[in-house]
A and B are shown apart, each in its own frame.
Chain A
Amino acid sequence: MSAQPFTTPVEDSVPKTNDELAIGENLDFQRKWWRFERIIWIFFAVILLCDLLGLFGRGWLAKAERSTPDNGLILKYERIERASTPSIMTLDFGPAAIQGGRIQVFVSNSIVMPLGAQRIAPQPQQSSVGNGGITYTFAATQSPAAVQIALEPSFPGLHSFRVQVVGRQPIDANIFVVP
């Protein structure tokens, strides 16, 4: 046990106000803080506005649509998605995509892994892997025809993907996933 006595005197640790009461008031700091508060509330308002517009996904700015020149494939998706949040990617097929009563569509592996494809509707007749992706075959009668892929991205970041009706021009696009 230490034999050293307690020697620190008890006294005011903060400045006195009007030489009477030791409050430790710091009005200069407080005025700066009020200015900071005004700025940060504007910043918070901008964040909410960006969210309403869809800059963080699930809104007007997030929605995207791409198509091939022959309109054989029209892709509707969200260019900005949120991690672990479901969304739907829709593939609308035009007459040029239907060949011999079926549609063959290739999707790159990135749709499955980082972008987290959960299910595809309707179920394809056949699916085969290769060339860095999956080729689905659907029975089809005539246009309009659509396939939906439910996505639930696991990893934040920018992810590129490709969707292509076999034998036609591909659509290459990016999806940015926010945390």
Chain B
Amino acid sequence: MATIIHAVLGYFVLIIVVRVLKRRAGSQMTLFEFVLVFLMGGIIILSTVGNDRSVTNCTCAVIAVGLMHRSVSWAKSKSPRIGAVLDGTPLAVIKQGEWQPEIMNGMKLRREDIEAAGRSAGVTKPEDIDYAVLERNGRISVFPKD
């Protein structure tokens, strides 16, 4: 019983903290962010299973987390608002070849991040980028000028 409550609470605590950590915890992951994800996951595990490390307890915790994840995915598919709250919305950091400083500052992005994404898309110069979009999963999509 306590394990299931702890697993559900831990799931939501992790979702909230990761969600407010800007959009880089899952994608565009550097070593710096790997430390964050492993450390937070490890800490939540401690309170979820407590001193009971039996197969039964751990299985219940895994099932509870799986059920929560499925329920949240279902809610996201039914409500775009919930989807926006949990995943955010895509944001254009370059629009028609113009930097969008409000988005860059708000999302704590650096120009180097966008330029790196441009190189991945085969664009060698930033001024050749028409649109750069920070996607919900943290990736940056780059659309070169025609």
Contact = CB atoms under 8 A, between A and B. Distances in A.
Contacts of B85: 33
Contact of B51 (A25, A27, A40, A84): A84
B27 interface: no
Interface of B: 16-17, 20, 50-51, 84-85, 88-92, 95-96, 103, 106, 131, 133, 143
Contacts of A30: 88-89, 91, 103, 106
Contacts, number: 42
Nearest to B135: A23
From A25, A34, A37, A40, name the one whose CB has the most chain B CB atoms within 10 angstroms: A25
Contacts of B17: 44
Nearest to B22: A37
Nearest to B143: A21
A56 to B, nearest CB: 13
A126 interface: no
Interface of B is mostly: mixed
Contact of A40 (B20, B92, B133): B20
A55 B121 CA distance: 51
Interface residues of A, number: 18
A33 to B, nearest CB: 7
Contacts of B51: 84
A2 interface: no
B19 to A, nearest CB: 9
Given A40-B16, A40-B20, A24 B95 contact: no
